[in-house]
A and B are shown apart, each in its own frame.
Chain A
Amino acid sequence: MAARTRALETILVGKGLVDPAAVDALIETYETRVGPRNGARVVAKAWMDPSFAQWLRSDATAAIASLGYSGRQGEHMRALFNGDGVHNLVVCTLCSCYPWSVLGLPPVWYKSPPYRSRAVIDPRRVLGEFGVVLPAETRIEVWDSTAELRYLVIPQRPPNTDDLDEEQLAALVTRDSMIGTGFPRARP
């Protein structure tokens, strides 16, 4: 695989289609600078600031871009707000579309065939396997990502966090809670 990748790179660089320095810079970005902490900041701001939450509901792409996080493929973002009686779960049944700009690259299970099929067929059971047990009356909405549209779940703010600031709130937001397969942490 390594040799084949080098072969493709040799061809692409030789044709002037990619710049090796730009490739290295991109890798560095994804290994060190882009990750779920970006999304956690979006969620914490939505918890703190009702006008930002409203902006997220009406135009998530612009609201998220205002914090400096924009998709590389020009994809649109939609924020899915969990609430009493509704829980959102995100999947990509076709391949592995994922909101890179706010969550980084997806975990292995997100890309695995069982998650991609079972999250749609039996979401309640899949959530249970993640330790997310919901009341029977809670409606589970499953959202299938595409190349053009990616989703960010805005989990419910944990109780007893009124006195926390945005940074402390962001520390409670887990990656899985923004996919829908987890809850935020309780305050320490």
Chain B
Amino acid sequence: MSQSEYWPDLQEATFAEPWQAQVFALTVKLNEGGIFSWSEWSEALGKELAGAAQDGSDYYERWLLALDGLLVRKHVATPAQIQDLTEAWQRAAEATPHGKPILLENDPLGEASR
């Protein structure tokens, strides 16, 4: 909608990639569930956004880091747990043929790795 050359609308859709929508919705639901207040969230996000890319392109990367950190501080997850599951999902994605849904069960190392 903005036609400014200085402030272009870089993105037509609300979310550029599905994971951005996912991490957004998880955050809203956790707030609604009382895991953290929205002020706590704003503060966590604000800290991560200090030093963000000038064009705003890494906004949801930083959002994810903020959520990650807040969940650790709230003792909902440990960094090791998040890291192990992230690697399992990566292996599952690599092992899944193109066009098929990625499932955690597709992780070739399976439960043994987690």
Question: Any chain B CB within 8 A of the CB of A175?
Answer: yes
A-side contacts of B11, CB under 8 Å: 107-108
A-side contacts of B87, CB under 8 Å: 3
Whether the pair A130, B29 counts as a contact (CB closer than 8 A) is no
Count of chain A residues with a beta carbon within 8 Å of a chain B beta carbon: 53
Question: Any chain B CB within 8 A of the CB of A12?
Answer: yes
Question: Any chain A CB within 8 A of the CB of B39?
Answer: yes
Whether the pair B93, A3 counts as a contact (CB closer than 8 A) is yes
Whether the pair A7, B4 counts as a contact (CB closer than 8 A) is no
> Using an 8 Å CB-CB cutoff, how does the interface string of B1-44 with A read, 1 for contact, 0 for none?
11110111111011101110111111011111101011101110
B-side contacts of A30, CB under 8 Å: 14, 21, 24-25
Q: How far is the CA of A31 from the CA of B22 in the complex (A)?
A: 12
Whether the pair B23, A31 counts as a contact (CB closer than 8 A) is no
> Using an 8 Å CB-CB cutoff, how does the interface string of A60-101 with B read, 1 for contact, 0 for none?
000000000000111100000000000000000011110000
Selected A-B contacts with CB under 8 Å, 12 pairs:
A2-B93, A7-B82, A10-B85, A23-B29, A96-B49, A107-B11, A108-B59, A109-B2, A111-B59, A112-B59, A129-B4, A131-B4
